[in-house]
Amino acid sequence: MKFGIHSLLFRETFLEKDLPLLDKCARLGFDAVEIIPFDPGNFPAAKVKAAAADLGLAINTGYGMPLEYNTISPDPKVRRAGIEFSKKLIDLSVAAGAEVFGGMIYCGWGYLSGRPRTEEEWRWAVDGYREVAEYAAAADPSLVLGIEPVNRFESHFINTAADAVRFIREVGTPNIKVHLDTFHMIREENDIRQAVLDTGSDLGYVHACENQRGIPGTGLVPWREFFRALRQVGYDGCVTIESFDPNMESIAKLCCIWRKLADSPEQLASEGLAYLKRVRSEAWEEAMAC
């Protein structure tokens, strides 16, 4: 199992000047770094790939689709723009050597229609993302597209693991998987462990986040049960700590982070990594003893 860290814990951007962050993450003990190419035109994809290879790091990418690229918009021009923008993000992910491109990559982040999702929205999203997934498969068959269920305050469209499983199965391409995030799961699932078990082999990526976005192990997430479930479904991919620094005003506003979650980003990263590795090891040992 690989353990990753989200670059937004340390940097608001990822431009050429931010490349030294990869070395920092490696020195903190991480196996992978997730990067959001917020500025696609200036994202140094090839240099990310080269630097990560030198450090022995895996790279993952993610995104929250802006509303102007909302693939469930009633406006067909907006939906088409979202599909074409998704293809650009896939090109950048492939150029960066990413193993996973995940997140809220299937509709506009923060888009709330004021009603439950409709079958029309579902059809738009499935048909549109099938085109995106087929494009990605041609660009790099090994790139995993991770569909992340998010909480009801961020979207009305895909809120649970069951929603995401249904979505990827209807898209129907082998490169699309479910991306589970414990921050959202603790708000939307009836049983976190059972949600993992029900996702099963469709699980392709994991965000490890406390319910308050603090250091894993300091909140309400049932980590031991979560890792037992990961083992039970045979998931041995990347588990990435996702949190943010409230001193980054734009990120804090987007993610509603209004208080300090640790003394420093480095403390959150290092203590979170140590905790997750310990719980994972204990859960594996307990499973072996049964």
- The residues annotated as belonging to the active site are 148, 242
Distance CA(48)–CA(85), nearest Å, equals: 21
The residues that bridge with 206 in the sheet, in sequence order, are 180, 239
**Cβ neighbour number for residue 87 with a 10 Å cutoff:** 15
Three-state SS at 240 = strand
Using the 8-state DSSP alphabet, how is residue 202 labeled? G
Distance CA(91)–CA(174), nearest Å, equals: 18
Handedness of CA 129, 156, 66, 253 (dihedral sign): negative
Distance CA(75)–CA(108), nearest Å, equals: 13
Q: Which of 279, 102, 75 is closest to 179 using CA atoms?
A: 102
Q: Which of 237, 144, 234, 219 is closest to 183 using CA atoms?
A: 219
How far is CA 274 from its chain centroid? 20
Q: Which amino acid is at 283?
A: A
* 176-181/98-108 β-pairing: unpaired
Q: Which of 96, 99, 204, 229 is closest to 149 using CA atoms?
A: 204
How far is CA 285 from its chain centroid? 27
Quickly tell me which residue has 């499973």 as its tokens.
Answer: 287
